[in-house]
Structure 1
Amino acid sequence: MTAVGIEDIGAYFGTAHVEVGELFQARGLEQARLANLLMRRKSVALPCEDIVTMAVNAARPVLDRLGAEGRATIETVVVATESGVDLAKSAAAFALAFLDLPKTCRVFEVKQACHGGAAAFQMAAASLAVSPRRGRALVIAGDAPIPVQGSYAEPSQGAGAIAVLLGEPRLARWHADRYGLWSFDNTDFRRPAVDVDVINVDLSIMSYIDCLIGSYKNYSEHTASDFGASFDALAMHTPFPGMVRGAHRTAARRLSGMDAAGIDLDFKKRVSASLEVPAEVGNIYSGCTLMALASSLRHHSTTTGHELGVYSYGGGCSSEFIGLTASADTERTPAAAQLDAALSARTKISVERYDAVLDVARRTLPGTPDADDCLRGVSDLVTTAAHTAGPLLMLGSIKDHHREYLWCDKDMS
């Protein structure tokens, strides 16, 4: 079996962000609940952005580093999302040409709520491990949800995408036998229409914790793993960092018998690094687990490498616990620098402008038949981001359901 792992990571977190504290104040939300989120900022999707643009913009830096010869070895492109722009054609098929990838690719889209990204990661890694061709796979996960304005969910609803290049294990090694599964049918989260989220918050929290315990126990049964001792770092699906803190507290107590002081120390030592990026971006649904994984590799770097436990959960519900081996000095890689750049490329906007952006964004939702000049009123944000990030793909217009995209750069008028 071929050695497979994470070769590189790219990220795109939009061109704008809003301060979560300012949003709380503007909405009149209880300030006492702000601290529980552990959020600082959240990314904002513009009317000219959808999962196709976000996927392409996340993957482009990775492919630029890979070069033309490397691109030719990519044999799978999969996009995991809840925000597909077409009910038949995958976002991966849209992205193929914009990323200048070969026609000798399998392209498809994956959906299983927030677990989609990790599920795609596992399937793509497994296919590479048994293939004799020694190819590569590009896994992209992300979403552009429509925030529920005025709700307590809104401050954590972000936007963005993570691109993971699977091939040589330069950042982390994947292991075919290190996984645990736990899934069952429930109704904690549904999206019956592109702009309708039906959430049972209490059920979602309980299911998240049940699946963490269940998937880890299944993992341990096959690996003789110890939750408290087998992993130097942990990365979990992060709807908001405060939820991860609560779930870790429960898991550490039930699975390892830690006391309160030990739990707090363990959280800071093994989990907090994975929350640095999510605290700046918010919930990107299908991409949340891979974003936490990328954050951990960026902010929990060791000189010798270490064992990394990854927990993914998706409403409905499905979950998996995955064991990876992180490489040494991951904070010094191009992937780490690009993760930082994706955050710094954004412009802070006021809550007033954020609300105006959301109002206009609804006219370019998937299923919209026609929309002109999708960059109107936000081109300054795109130009500023492109100055840092390089050319960015944006939605230009929609004509008879055909979405027309264009590349934008720092000199765009």
Structure 2
Amino acid sequence: MQVGIDKIGFFTPNKYVDMVDLAHARNQDPNKFLIGIGQSEMSVADQTQDAVSMGINATLRYLDRIDKDKVGLLVLGTESGIDQSKSASLFVKTALKLKPEVRTFEVKEACFGLTVALMVARDFVRVHPEQTAIVIGSDIARYGVKTRGEVTQGAGSISMLVKATPSILALNNGHSAYSEDINDFWRPNDSRVALVDGKYSTQIYLDFFKKTFADYKKQKDLATKDFAAIIYHLPFTKMGLKANRIAVADQDETNTKKLQSSFESSKLLSNRVGNIYTASLYLSLLSLLENGNLSAGSLVGLFSYGSGAMAEFYSGKLVAGYEQELDRAADEKMLNRRQKLSIPEYEHIFNEALTDPADGQELTSDDEVGTWYFAGLRDHIRQYKKII
């Protein structure tokens, strides 16, 4: 029985910063950000968008095309949690009006969270093939204004429906995992911004890719040339480029061009959205599907990495007709709806979002009709509303 990804939904907030503007404001050569980091734009979340609201909005992209009564599991992966105890997925489940019998919880392991959710959902559907599962990665990457990590921020969510006989990507059995207790990135309980050792984290990411990629090929008796595409977790697109160079280092010209081309297709959305932590790998997948030229049956390798550190390499095969499940025009429209912020506007919005509003203060959103948003606290309980 094949189990895999049947639907993909994407959401990002309605504001962004242009990297050229940011470079000029920070007295940097724009090419340091455009080429050296590989980013051209960065989505910005104001006070009204958080992991919950973005997860709701991403799932709504496909919710009216599925049988909600068949959903038996909802898992949300995030490192931008809104409560130390209550799962963010419960807020999402309520907004989506899923039945009470749905099992739901939140998982955390830095940027590895959505991969954890996907693998749990895969195994759930294998045991319960008559049911489906919704998995969500939803995050706001924050390092702070005028910090070294500022250019690798972003905000967004990816939601996926996992089911038997999927319409997009059938997941293959097996994986290669590797983990170590490493302090390359972390966020203390008393901080809304992350702490990171950037150069160290990049090296660990690349080391873990080498280990898991080599081990997976050995396990499955595969060669690099067997993959039509290899996609990566992209905290910034240059990181994935470095890993892809490792992947093709010993390949002939034909295979090198093939994997370079697929990587270029996979990075286009991340280049405009920025880092969305748990969902970054799956934004790469969506970008590959929308911008690449892969045929049914193509083998796609996926490298997932979460600082701290946990990595996994696995693969899937594209299902015939997967293109019919995509809506590139709608994704482009969502990106184009965003308001370009001046640097002073961005700094104000960013810093304002580092604290919750006062209890009883009601927030309003300037996004489009139908968008869900965080509306403030009432008796210290988070409130979520839809723009009508």
Q: TM-score, normalised by structure 2?
A: 0.94
Whether the aligned pair in 2 keeps the contact of 1:301 and 1:329 (CA below 8 Å) is no
Mapped to 1, the partners of 2:122 and 2:334 lie a distance apart of: 25
Aligned partners of 1:101 and 1:195: how far apart in 2? 30
Q: Distance in 2 between matches of 1:373 and 1:142?
A: 23
1:321-360 Cα offsets, whole Å, 9 max, x none, are 1110012454443444443343233222222211121132
- Alpha-carbon distance in 2 for matches of 1:328, 1:298: 15
- Which residue of 2 is the match for residue 74 of structure 1? 71
Match of 2:362 in 1: 373
Map of 1:139 onto structure 2: 135
Q: How far, CA to CA, are the matches of 1:398 and 1:288 in structure 2?
A: 29
Counterparts of 2:254 and 2:328 in 1: how far apart (Å)? Answer: 30
| Match 1:97 to one of 94, 97, 100 | 94
> Quick check: 199-208 or 149-158, which moved more?
149-158
The 1:269–1:32 alpha-carbon spacing in structure 2 relative to 1, beyond 3 Å, is closer
Tell me which residue corresponds to 2:127: 130
- 1:232 aligns to 2:228 (yes or no): yes
Match of 1:284 in 2: 276
Q: C-alpha displacement at 1:32, in angstroms?
A: 4.1
Q: Is the CA contact 2:296–2:317 (under 8 Å) kept in the aligned structure 1?
A: no
The residue number in structure 1 matching 2:287 is: 295
CA distance in 1, matches of 2:385, 2:325: 30
Alpha-carbon distance in 2 for matches of 1:176, 1:72: 27
Q: CA deviation at 1:264?
A: 6.4
CA distance in 1, matches of 2:231, 2:9: 17
Give me the whole-angstrom Cα distance separating, in 2, the residues matched to 1:156 and 1:44: 12
- Contact 1:10-1:339 within 8 A present in 2 as well: no
User: Identity of aligned pairs, percent?
Assistant: 28
- 1:332–1:20 CA distance, 2 compared to 1 (3 A): farther
Q: Which residue of 2 aligns with 1:313?
A: 305
* Number of the residue aligned with 2:248: 252
Distance 1:27 1:289 in 2: 29
Pairwise CA distance, 1:303: 4.1
Q: What does 1:33-182 align with in structure 2 at a 5 Å threshold?
A: 33-34=32-33, 35-66=35-66, 70-131=67-128, 133-167=129-163, 168-177=165-174, 179-182=175-178
Conservation of the 8 A alpha-carbon contact between 2:142 and 2:150:
no
So what's the TM-score if we normalise by structure 1?
A: 0.88
Given residue 108 of structure 2, which amino acid in structure 1 is its aligned partner? K
Aligned length: 385
Show the 5 A alignment for 1:308-387.
308-364=300-356, 370=359, 372-375=361-364, 379-380=365-366, 382=367, 386=368
CA drift at 1:222: 1.6
Judge conservation of contact 2:10–2:331 (CA < 8 Å) in 1. yes
For the aligned residue pairs, the C-alpha RMSD in angstroms reads 1.9
Residue type of the partner of 1:39? Q
The residue type paired with residue 308 of structure 1 is V
CA contact (8 A) 2:228 2:294 kept: no
Report if aligned partners of 2:229, 2:259 keep a CA contact under 8 Å in 1. no
Matched, 1:8 2:10: no
DSSP 3-state at the match of 2:89: helix
| Unaligned residue ranges in structure 1 (runs of 5+) | none
1:345 and 1:329 map into 2 onto residues whose CA distance is 29
Kept in 2, the 8 Å contact 1:302–1:330? The answer is no
CA distance in 1, matches of 2:322, 2:39: 24
**Cα distance change of structure 1 residues 46 and 290 upon mapping to structure 2, 3 Å threshold:** same
Cα distance per residue 1:47-69 (max 9 Å; x no partner): 11111101101101211222xxx
Q: Secondary structure at the match of 2:354?
A: helix
Report the CA distance between 1:24 and its aligned residue.
1.2
**Matched residues in 2 for 1:145 and 1:47: separation?**
14
**How far did residue 371 of structure 1 move?**
5.9
AA in 2 matched with 1:4 = V
CA contact (8 A) 1:289 1:312 kept: yes
Partners in 2 of 1:95 and 1:158 — Cα distance? 21
| Offset, 1:405 | 1.5
Could you tell me which residue of structure 2 aligns to residue 28 of structure 1? 27
Change beyond 3 A, Cα 1:351–1:263: farther
Q: Could you tell me how far 1:267 is from its partner in structure 2?
A: 4.6
Contact conserved, 1:277 with 1:291, CA < 8 A, in 2? yes
> Letter of the aligned partner of 1:290 in structure 2?
Y
Q: Secondary structure at the match of 1:196?
A: coil
Secondary structure in structure 2 of the residue aligned to 1:405: strand
In the alignment, residue 373 of structure 1 is paired with which amino acid?
Answer: E
- In structure 2, the CA distance between the partners of 1:144 and 1:268, relative to structure 1 (3 Å rule), is same
Q: Distance in 2 between matches of 1:306 and 1:252?
A: 18
